[in-house]
Chains A and B, each alone.
Chain A
Amino acid sequence: VSRIREAWSRALWAPTDAGPIGLLRIAVGFIVTVMLLERIPHARAAYSDAGWIPNEAAVQLMDPWHWSIFHVIDAPWQVIACLIVGAVAAAAFTIGRFTRVAGLVAFVVLSSVHVRNPAVLYGADSVARIFLFYLLLVPCGAAYSWDATRERSARAHAALAEGVDPRTRRRRVAEIPVWPVRLFQIQVMIIYLTTGISKSYGVDYEEGLALWYALVNPVHSRFYPAAVPLYEAVFPVLKIATVITLWWELAFAFMVPFRRLRTVALLTGLVVHGGIYFLLEIEWWGPLMMMSYLAFVSGRSLHRLGLRAIRDLRSTRWKNRLRLLYDPADARALELATRIATFDPMRMVALEAAPGIDGGTELSRREDGSAVAPEGMRQALRAAVPITGGFVGRRTH
């Protein structure tokens, strides 16, 4: 029993990198913000007592446990105000300011919108609501957020005051418990599995016609009618793509638990959803599902990608890195150094403590010690960095 309990604890409470979930928060928060703003022009017709579903009917339409804030707030201006509040909260959630509270407010408003008028929803609405719910369970503001940046800035300030560049220290990766991430992953797997099973009932997928019908339907097709001759020419390809799509959806849940197959499943998903988004006008469905793949990506992979990008950037465009000397005793210089340390975690600009330094004197020497005309160096540097008292910069190779 104790072994089972221990294994269960590990399954739920193992730490995982907060980075991918932080990016997922930004994506979902942005989409929810736009979804709420999109509804403002329709507030009167679809969500207010003056619209086509009066409040009394809206209450009766839904089951008793479905509650909406718009059952209480029903004047058109009140509905618009509430949508704006929801959108502002979703925007705060996106940038990671008061993440939990902002996410909760956005979730309440979004759910209220959905319950108030269920006739004007489509799949992506439900998916956005479900994703937002799961993100409320995760401390998703632990990475890539305003709040996390403020904390990092405070730590950087303290370290720089001691004359240490905090970015040269071993950084502790922001970690969160894994259980909400697992629930999120299971939800995504079930979405694909049930969708695949539903599609397998129809003959359109068996005959390979589903994609064709979507592409020649003027309601959805982005390039109708111009691209119809092209679709006709490549029909055999569309047929194969239709079958692959069905089998990929059915197999997704069984592929992602395994590392190698996971890569195949996710890459196929990117191609399928990216293709659908490019060829069909189905709004947010594709972007939401593609973003959900972040929950399946390890923080390590993301860091590696970032590291490779930085190395490429350094080798091609940033051969001459900038080294900045600052005086820890100078408040203005310390503040500037803190900002650099906070917003340049990749160390594109190196920081070096130089107590007692003065902007005018240090500029007079090159790295090899040879003298440089102060005025000429000053002009060259002025274009690159602001020079304040106690803070100067120089290029290094």
Chain B
Amino acid sequence: VRIARAEPSEAGLGIIEPVAGQPMRTPIVEVPRWRRGLVSIFVVFHLVALLWWNCGVVQYRPAELARPDDAFSRFRAGAEVVDPSGGARSTLEAYMRGSGLWQRWILFGPDAPHETGRFEVFGVEAVGPDGAPELDPDPVHTSDSRELLDHTQLIGLVPCGFPLQDDPRATFLRASYAAYHVREGASRRGVQYVGAHFVCHVRELPTPDRVDEEFPWRTIVLWSGPLPPVEGS
């Protein structure tokens, strides 16, 4: 193998030029043997883990589910309300039940948001004692907080490490997010709310041949539930 040798061609600039004519062996950084062994084990383990994990990622979206529509249709395909007792961890479930967040949940139906070709605006509605919902006028996060909030995960698209979008943990995230919004709004305005809706307003994006068309907005409730009364109120 003909290999270039590090040979500064211009003083001070460290330009590496190949040495003409002479084949050379690649030099090796001198390190203790035990260190080479450890690094070898690490490298092999790391590569196997990397490939194994990424094969899992690729297989995660089976073609038979995804092909008919798009990459997100897997989530639509499994779009049923999930039994909360299945797979929920006891402590988390207890927490959610105790805080009243488990009362009602709506996961993905056929009108699931966040597909390519749709435009979504998220909002949290606070439900007053008279049962009328009002959109939070001063939300903690808005759908414009791009630097922090990835709505694809908040609404249940595989939050980091969660195996399924219908995992109860994903539901919990939406519920706790909505409840926090409403609690904060209530304390700021000094009012009492009894429930919260986490909603998504969806509108189709136009295709190139329908740019001038006005597409209607539809509202999807991602989570809806009562709020526990605030202590001392």
Residues of A with Cβ closer than 8 Å to B? 8-10, 12-15, 17, 38-39, 42, 45-46, 51-54, 56-57, 60-63, 66, 114, 118-122, 126, 167-173, 175-177, 179, 183, 186-187, 190, 193-194, 197-199, 201-204, 209-210, 212-214, 216-219, 228-229, 232, 235, 281-283, 299-300, 303-304, 306-307, 310, 345-347
Bound state CA distance, A279 and B175, in angstroms?
34
Count B-side interface residues using an 8 Å CB cutoff: 73
Q: Across the A-B interface, how many residue pairs have beta carbons closer than 8 Å? A: 198
- Contact between chains at A187 and B50 (CB < 8 Å): yes
Picked from B12, B92, B145, B147, the residue with its CB within 8 Å of the CB of A61 is B92
Q: In terms of DSSP, what is the predominant structure of the interface of chain B?
A: loop
- Contact between chains at A46 and B27 (CB < 8 Å): no
Tell me which residues across on chain B come within 8 A of A183, comparing CB atoms: 43, 46-47
Bound state CA distance, A204 and B14, in angstroms?
49
- Contact between chains at B28 and A13 (CB < 8 Å): yes
Picked from A14, A167, A169, A216, the residue with its CB within 8 Å of the CB of B206 is A216
**Which of B64-72, B76-84, B127-135, B219-227 has 4 or more CB atoms under 8 Å from chain A?**
B64-72
- Contact between chains at A63 and B161 (CB < 8 Å): yes
- Contact between chains at A12 and B43 (CB < 8 Å): yes
Tell me which residues across on chain A come within 8 A of B39, comparing CB atoms: 12, 179
* Distance of B177 from chain A, by nearest CB (Å): 5
- Contact between chains at A168 and B11 (CB < 8 Å): yes
Interface centre among A14, A39, A306 (most CB of B within 10 A): A14
Picked from A12, A120, A194, the residue with its CB within 8 Å of the CB of B58 is A194
Tell me which residues across on chain A come within 8 A of B14, comparing CB atoms: 171-173, 303
Tell me which residues across on chain A come within 8 A of B12, comparing CB atoms: 167-169, 171, 345-347
Binary contact readout B80-112 vs A (1 if CB under 8 angstroms, 0 otherwise):
000000000101100100000000000000000
Tell me which residues across on chain A come within 8 A of B58, comparing CB atoms: 194, 197-198
**When A13-B29, A42-B148, A118-B160 are in contact, do A219 and B143 touch as well, CB less than 8 Å?**
yes
Tell me which residues across on chain B come within 8 A of A114, comparing CB atoms: 160
Q: Which of B5-61 contact A (CB under 8 A)?
A: 6, 8, 10-16, 25-29, 31, 36, 39-40, 43, 46-47, 50-51, 54, 57-58, 61
- B179 contacts partner chain A, Cβ-Cβ < 8 Å: yes
- Contact between chains at B29 and A15 (CB < 8 Å): yes
* Distance of A6 from chain B, by nearest CB (Å): 9
- Contact between chains at B29 and A201 (CB < 8 Å): no
